[in-house]
Amino acid sequence: MNSSIVMDRREAEAAATKAPLQRIADDKAMLRAAAEMARDLAAYRPAIFWSDLIASVVIGYGALLLAVTATSLAAGLIAGLVSALALYRAVSFIHEISHMKPSSVRGFRLGWNLLVGIPLMVPSLMYEDVHVHHHARTKYGTVEDPEYLPLALMKPWTLPMFVAVSLLAPIGLLIRYGILSPLSLVVPGLRKMVVERYSGLVINPAYRRRMPEGRFRTEWLAMEIGASLWAIAVIAMVVTGVLPLKALLIILAVVAVTTVTNQIRTLVAHLWENEGEPMTVTAQYLDSVNVPPPALLPMLWAPVGLRYHALHHLLPSVPYHNLGEAHRRLTAALGTDSPYHKASYPGLPGLVGKIARSTMIARR
């Protein structure tokens, strides 16, 4: 690298050590290297997407059936855990769908919704046209970001509350699609509230979703009708005894494990230290988290590329199966003084501890 690039890095590094996140300058060397090295990694490989999804679905639903029909508690718990982790991986593809063009992996969006989104009542409408705002340079970490809260600056009790509330997500989704969707067709004003407040996988309570328009509105309605009919069918099967209440409770418990796991993963996806001001790309990167190898457990709690969340904020167009290679290239190319290395952490416990300590310091 030439001297100007080195100077860019040194200036940015110096600023990073003295300034809060809102005033960290962009490290041009890191951004340039990321753009250049990942240029040939933006291609999607449909075979990987489909084989990964199908394997996750087969294992997830197969283990769920075993959990429901198990004759011993131990077998039921093991099957339920396997099902939860496999279905969590399958659900996590909603993140990839929110970034990809329809032509990237033909038919994948429809297939995912039929296999995962509608049966689990998280159709891709819940993330499409929502997650993109989290990546908007001028919106990240602000009140307009649907996926950001300054958790590290809030009261310590907000962290366990943040995780605990996700236990109710399966019941909430059943109510949203089985009850609120049909009622919103006949109750004035309810439709607007359902779309604005109950149609997105968000954590920012101040975020209000806009009404869908154009072609997406038609696709939205198709997905919502499918999820609503499925939710109504599930409720009807339980009421009529076709689906035993015990079986439903087991299914809800398994899904709750997936939602709690995802919420814990969300808790450590960022450092949550921004107070609402716009940030540079480098600042956004440093407020985000990578948990790269040699750690193995992130493959379970941060699947489908989510272990490279900070890198994803640098390169949102790179599909999940190429993020590992992008990380290896950048790690080798950028010196130890590069901000790139400061977003990597060894594992989940340390990250939870870091955020917990931040909440206690912030309240002094």
Structure-block tokens of residue 79: 């099957």
Which mean pLDDT values do the consecutive 10-residue runs of the chain (364 residues) have? 36 43 84 87 96 98 98 97 98 97 94 98 96 92 94 92 96 97 92 95 94 94 97 97 96 98 97 91 95 94 97 95 96 93 94 92 62
Give pLDDT, residue 22. 63
**pLDDT one-digit tens code per residue, 112-167:** 999 999 999 999 999 999 999 999 989 999 999 999 999 999 999 999 999 999 99
Measured distance CA(96)–CA(27) in Å, rounded: 27
Residue 355 corresponds to which amino acid?
A: I
Taking alpha carbons only, the member of 316, 319, 292, 320 closest to residue 305 is: 320
Residue whose entry in the numeric block shows the structure tokens 């929110």 = 98
Measured distance CA(98)–CA(107) in Å, rounded: 14
Measured distance CA(231)–CA(248) in Å, rounded: 12
Give pLDDT, residue 21. 67
Taking alpha carbons only, the member of 202, 200, 301, 315 closest to residue 258 is: 301
Pair 308, 292: CB distance under 8 Å: yes
Give pLDDT, residue 275. 86
Give pLDDT, residue 360. 86
> 290 - beta bridge partners?
308, 344
DSSP symbols for 293-332: TT--THHHHSTTTTTBHHHHHH-TTS-GGGHHHHHHHHHH
- Angle between helix axes 28-37 and 3-18 (nearest 10 degrees) is 120
Give pLDDT, residue 24. 87
Structure-block tokens of residue 284: 């956004």
Q: How far is CA 294 from each of CA 299, 308, 324, 344, rounded to the nearest angstrom?
A: 11, 13, 12, 11
Segments in the chain forming alpha helices (H): 3-18, 28-37, 46-69, 73-91, 93-99, 108-112, 131-135, 158-164, 169-175, 181-183, 190-197, 214-240, 245-267, 281-286, 298-301, 309-314, 323-333, 348-362
Record the pTM: 0.91
Residue 293 corresponds to which amino acid?
A: P
**pLDDT one-digit tens code per residue, 183-216:** 998 998 999 999 999 999 999 999 999 999 999 9
Dihedral sign (CA 167, 226, 135, 315):
positive
Measured distance CA(28)–CA(8) in Å, rounded: 6
Measured distance CA(348)–CA(298) in Å, rounded: 8
